[in-house]
Amino acid sequence: MSESTFDVTDDTFEAFISINGMPIIIEFWDPWCSICEEMAPIYANLAKKYEGKMKFGKLNMRENPLLPEKFQVYVTPSFVFFKDCKEVHRAGGLIEPSSLEEELRKFV
């Protein structure tokens, strides 16, 4: 994890999405997912670029099975956006960096 992204778990999720009303994106990923590996540096770069404007979390689906089930996450990686503690958008799979950033800008 970089300084700009936070590990989110089944236990820390509620506290994380409650952080000072800031928009949040959580990447649901799996250690065996090759697309997740490809997206990791893109996500980390966006986290640095938008630090202070949006919170970035990463949730390992293999270690934290409750939240993927709750949010019906079936595609890895899935990028789930939250605002005011509610899911407002999601995108999944291999996404062009510019497309993911375009999605982010809708919420900052």
Catalytic residue list: 33, 36
Nearest CA to 76 out of 33, 31, 44, 13 is that of 33
Measured CA to CA, the distance from residue 95 to residue 17 in angstroms comes to 23
Whether residue 92 contacts residue 76, with contact meaning beta carbons closer than 8 Å, is answered with: yes
Pairing state of beta strands 55-60 and 24-29? Answer: parallel
Q: Name residues whose C-beta falls within 8 Å of residue 33's C-beta, 6 or more positions apart in sequence.
A: 76, 77
